[in-house]
Amino acid sequence: MEPSRSAPLEAWLRYADDLGLGPFRLDRAPQHPSLLSPRAGRPAEAPSSSSSASAEAARSAPPPSGVRAAASALLPSVQSPSLFEERVDNDSLERIRSDIGPNCTRCKLHRARKNIVFGVGDPKAELVFVGEGPGHEEDIQAEPFVGRAGKLLTQMIEAMGLRRPDVYICNVVKCRPPENRLPEKDEIATCSPYLVRQLDAIKPKVICCLGACSAQTLLNTTQGISRYRGEWFDYRGARLLATYHPAYLLRNPAAKSEVWKDLQKIMAVLGLPGKRR
Ligand code: URA
C-alpha cells in the first residue's frame, strides 16, 4: 500500500490499540476463548518481573483474593498465530538455536545485549517454565533465571521435588531489555515464534508461565494475570498454568502462598510427591 494511503490506517490502528481495542494484526489468532469475556469483580493487575519505575507502577496492585476456577476445568485450545498453526517438521532445540543464529539482529534488543539467552534444561522436560526476558546476570551468563529471581525459581523447583536440569527454563525474549524494562510489543512479536517452536519441540506436559508477559504472549491476551492465575488452559496439547513471577515474589513475599498452591496443582498433574523433608 502507498504510504499516503497506509498512514491514516496505521494511525487509526495505533489509536485503537491505545484504547485497548486491538491488536488487529492478530485477527486470525483470537485470544484464548475463555479470556474473551472478562469475569466481573477481578482486578486487572498484571504483576510481572521487571523493576523499571513505569513497569513497577503497572504491577503494584495487590494480588486478588477471589476464589479461582477449579483447576480440573480444562479449557479449549489456544488458537495460535496463523504462522504457527502448523508445527515445523522434525524441529529441535538445536535447529531453533541455529535459526536464531549467534548474532541475531532481528529486533532492537540486540543493541545492548551481551549474550542471547536461549534456554536451559532437559530438551524432553515434562515441565517448562517460561519467563519474560533475561536480566543483567542472565545476560552475562547466557543462562535464564540465574540472578536473585532465578535463585528463588530454583528453590521453587526443588520444593516440587525436582532439580533445575529436570525441567526446561526459557523466556519470551532471548535478549535482555535495557534497564530490565518490559519487552515491547515488536520485540515480543519478533522473538515469540522461537518460544512457540521451543515448546513444540519439547512437547512438555505442563507449561508454567512466570508472570504476565509470558502468560499474555502464550494465551494471546492483554488481560492481567490476576484474572486467570492458577487456572488451567490447553495450549497446543500441553496444559498451561500462569503464576506470579519470582521477581514479583521478591517484592511481595505474601504472594508466595498463592504461587505454592499453583505449583502444587502442577505437581498433582505431573504426579510429583514434592520435596522429601
Ligand atoms: N526474569 C525473567 O523473566 N527471566 C530471566 O531469565 C531472569 C529474570
Establish if 78 belongs to a structural domain: yes
Establish if 218 belongs to a structural domain: yes
Atom of ligand 1 nearest to the CA of 211: 3
Ligand 1 pocket member 171 (CB < 6 A): yes
Residue 117's pLDDT is what?
Answer: 98
Q: Report the domain count for the chain.
A: 1
pLDDT digits (tens, 9 = 90+) for 14-67: 433 433 344 443 333 456 666 754 343 333 344 656 654 444 333 333 333 332
Ligand 1 pocket member 119 (CB < 6 A): no
Atom of ligand 1 nearest to the CA of 169: 6
What domain range includes position 112? 71-270
Q: What is the CATH number of the domain that holds 177?
A: 3.40.470.10
Q: Which residue has the cell 484504547?
A: 19
Average pLDDT over residues 117-122: 98
- Kind and range of the H or E run holding 219: helix 212-219
Ligand 1 pocket mutation, candidates 120, 171, 250, criterion most atoms within 8 A of CB: 171
HSE (side-chain half, CA atoms, 13 Å) at 44: 10
Give the three cell numbers for residue 65: 483474593
Residue 64's pLDDT is what?
Answer: 34
Ligand 1 pocket mutation, candidates 130, 132, 174, criterion most atoms within 8 A of CB: 132
pTM of the model: 0.77
Residue 275's pLDDT is what?
Answer: 77
C-alpha to C-alpha distance for 189 and 205, rounded to whole angstroms: 25
Establish if 57 belongs to a structural domain: no
Ligand 1 pocket member 49 (CB < 6 A): yes
Establish if 127 belongs to a structural domain: yes
pLDDT at 170 over 70: yes
Establish if 59 belongs to a structural domain: no
Establish if 144 belongs to a structural domain: yes
Ligand 1 pocket member 64 (CB < 6 A): no
